[in-house]
Chains A and B, each alone.
Chain A
Amino acid sequence: MADRHSRSADVNTGGPGVTSSHARPVGATASTGVLDGRSGGDAPVPPDFRHNGGALGGGGSLPRRKGFGAENAFRGLTLAAGTMVLVIIVAITVFLIARAVPALQANEANFLTTKEWYATQTPPQFGIAALVWGTVVTAVIALLVAVPIALGIALCLSHYAHKRIATILGFLIDLLAAVPSVVYGLWGVMVFINPVKDFSVWLNKYFSWLPFFSGEAPYGRSLLLGGLVLAIMVLPIVTSLSREVFMQTPTANEEAALALGATKWEMIRTAVIPYGRPGVIASVMLGLGRALGETIALAMTLGFLNVISLDVISNGGNSIAANIANGFGEANEIGRGALIASGLVLFTITLIVNMIARAIIYRRREFTESAA
């Protein structure tokens, strides 16, 4: 999540700043060139060779530095945009904390260890234990399922598939990312639930000795369903980013591996995957960010039982974001504060996840930096 913020911030500050500061002076010099030409000796002459009789080095006195020009204006503009990000983040944090604290003070139960969520009743009793559990478990299921498949697709598209097929497949994968999450939720709870139900019965029949699959019927609206729907939603993120980094592997490195007698798969293991590893980690973290924060798809597919159990196939489960979506409408003042507090917890989780990812990338920086 935080990673996404910083990325979008870069785009917003860097993008317009660069293009306009390049585009602007050209237009400005062109117009002054037409209007005052060579007439004004004391006018601030832009550093343009046309004004110096064609000689790039210039013949006359040096043009004065402009007091207030496009350069300064755009520097100020980009600076303002950059500062705005900070201001927004601080404002959001302050608002969240200010709203959360009164609710937390009114809470009669332990916020961190309580499983139930009765924030709107008096006295309010609520805790995030079961919500955090559901959030993390669905995200973990999603990543366990999605990442291997996504990496397989990415490698297939970047190194195995015929170029034309790869382009089409890549487009289809990107299309998956464009499907609104509410559609995933609807599809999950109306269609996908049936095979998952059958799958749960099968899992329970043969693997009930594993605590994950020991749950009793009814099956269907479970952490498993939520996790699998999330997996499909995470898939395109991990796939397209990983594919991108795999395709950037320098040909020289691939050829080096092949020339050492590597088979194609060995070449991929020696040259492609290590080269793409930081990118893959980043893509997985982006996917995890989406999985942790996903709201409506989980709000529609989970069974809303605030329990903590290793069992993932029985009806039940709830996540922080889904709980906020479902509870916000009927919540009173304290209830909303409580939901905001849970949102802060979610924010903390994504922050920690991102920090871990950055630590992983940082630890290998010596190798990844020289790779660039």
Chain B
Amino acid sequence: MAKRVEATGVTAYYGSFKAIDNINLSVEPKTVTALIGPSGCGKSTFLRSINRMHEVLPGARVEGKLTIDSENIYDKDVDVTAVRRMIGMVFQRPNPFPTMSIFDNVVAGLKLNGVRRKSVLEDAAEKALRSANLWDEVKDRLGKPGAGLSGGQQQRLCIARTIAVEPQVVLMDEPCSALDPISTLAIEDLMFKLKDRYTIIIVTHNMQQAARVSDRTAFFSIERTGDPGRLIEYDSTQKIFSNPGQKKTEDYITGRFG
């Protein structure tokens, strides 16, 4: 259910602009890893290159090696869609499909995989919604539009949609930045719960959040605007926030920079 993610020399470009340079980082299964750093330091770019969503943008490309349990997802003969099925993603802004009901949103990924049996879909939807702590709130209105939920509920709906296909790894790109504190708390609780089954990598601007939810933290930074982002320090969250090894990390987490 959960796999190990290992990046070796990952470099990502937008056209000719190098966004991240030579990232080496290894994420253990069933842990939460937080990526922190100032805006534009490439943490989201790195996150998006883990499930090959980076290359969706025109002109964007990735170099280097990224393995999921020793399988390089950037091998030439790898099916991109299979990679993305294995590595789910939750986005910054809740993005349920606006034309679909709550139920259809949750099972959208399963339907894409050819699952058609109603009973299978219903079971999977309930399971995913329960895992996302949303079932009790929506069980009576599964046929209503997903976009009619509150922001926090929508984001949990998106998480349900992501885990309904039973991925190995779940990537979250600032999943709480558009949410109020209570919804944020609900999502953080959810991350604790999901950690038992998935490898979770989360990008966050909120350092308290990183400290609360993650086991390990990676600090990214840039020298100045226009330079590629680099991984400055990667260690256990406790170490990073109490006794960081690098001056830059310390400056950042104490608020002296960024």
Chain B residues 225 to 241 lying within 8 A of chain A, measured CB to CB, are none
Which of A258, A275, A367 makes the CB contact (< 8 A) with B84? A258
Closest to B105 in A: A256
Interface 1/0 per residue, B100-138 and A, CB below 8 Å: 110000001100110000000000000000000000000
In the complex, B53 has a CB within 8 A of chain A: yes
Closest to A368 in B: B99
In the complex, B82 has a CB within 8 A of chain A: yes
- Please judge, given known A-B contacts A270-B108, A370-B145, whether A260 and B88 are in contact too, CB under 8 Å: yes
Chain B residues with CB below 8 A from A333, complex form: none
Interface range on chain B (Cβ under 8 Å from partner)? 20 to 34
- Min CB distance B183 to A, Å, is 18
- Please judge, given known A-B contacts A270-B108, A367-B145, A371-B147, whether A259 and B99 are in contact too, CB under 8 Å: no
Closest to A266 in B: B112
Q: Which of A36-44, A71-79, A223-231, A247-255 contacts B (4 or more CB under 8 A)?
A: A247-255
Interface 1/0 per residue, B80-105 and A, CB below 8 Å: 01111100110101011111110000
Q: Which of B20-28, B157-165, B212-220 contacts A (4 or more CB under 8 A)?
A: B157-165
Which of B53, B82, B100, B161 makes the CB contact (< 8 A) with A367? B100
- Min CB distance B201 to A, Å, is 14
In the complex, B182 has a CB within 8 A of chain A: no
- Min CB distance A263 to B, Å, is 6
Which of A250, A270, A368, A370 makes the CB contact (< 8 A) with B112? A270
Q: Are B88 and A262 in contact (CB under 8 A)?
A: no
Q: Are B99 and A277 in contact (CB under 8 A)?
A: yes
Complex CA–CA separation, A259 to B81 (angstroms): 8
Main secondary structure of the interface of A (DSSP, over half): helix
Q: Are A260 and B85 in contact (CB under 8 A)?
A: yes
In the complex, B51 has a CB within 8 A of chain A: yes
In the complex, A146 has a CB within 8 A of chain B: no
Main secondary structure of the interface of B (DSSP, over half): mixed
Q: Are A260 and B97 in contact (CB under 8 A)?
A: no
In the complex, A271 has a CB within 8 A of chain B: yes
Chain A residues with CB below 8 A from B144, complex form: 366
Q: Are A371 and B56 in contact (CB under 8 A)?
A: no
In the complex, B148 has a CB within 8 A of chain A: yes
Q: Are A262 and B112 in contact (CB under 8 A)?
A: yes
Q: Are A255 and B97 in contact (CB under 8 A)?
A: no
Complex CA–CA separation, A3 to B95 (angstroms): 32
Chain B residues 132 to 189 lying within 8 A of chain A, measured CB to CB, are 144-145, 147-148, 158, 161-162, 165
Complex CA–CA separation, A283 to B97 (angstroms): 22
- Please judge, given known A-B contacts A256-B91, A366-B145, whether A261 and B99 are in contact too, CB under 8 Å: no
Q: Which of A253, A256, A260 has the most CB of B within 10 A?
A: A260
Complex CA–CA separation, A252 to B94 (angstroms): 9
Chain A residues within CB distance 8 Å of chain B: 250, 252-253, 255-263, 266, 270-271, 274-275, 277, 364, 366-368, 370-371
4 smallest A-B Cβ distances: which pairs?
A261-B85, A371-B98, A370-B147, A274-B99
Chain B residues within CB distance 8 Å of chain A: 51, 53, 56, 81-85, 88-89, 91, 93, 95-101, 108-109, 112-113, 144-145, 147-148, 158, 161-162, 165
Give 24 pairs: A residue, B residue, CB < 8 Å, sorted on A: A252-B91, A252-B93, A255-B56, A255-B91, A256-B95, A256-B96, A256-B161, A258-B53, A259-B162, A260-B88, A261-B81, A261-B83, A261-B112, A262-B81, A262-B84, A270-B112, A277-B99, A364-B99, A367-B98, A367-B99, A367-B100, A370-B98, A371-B98, A371-B147
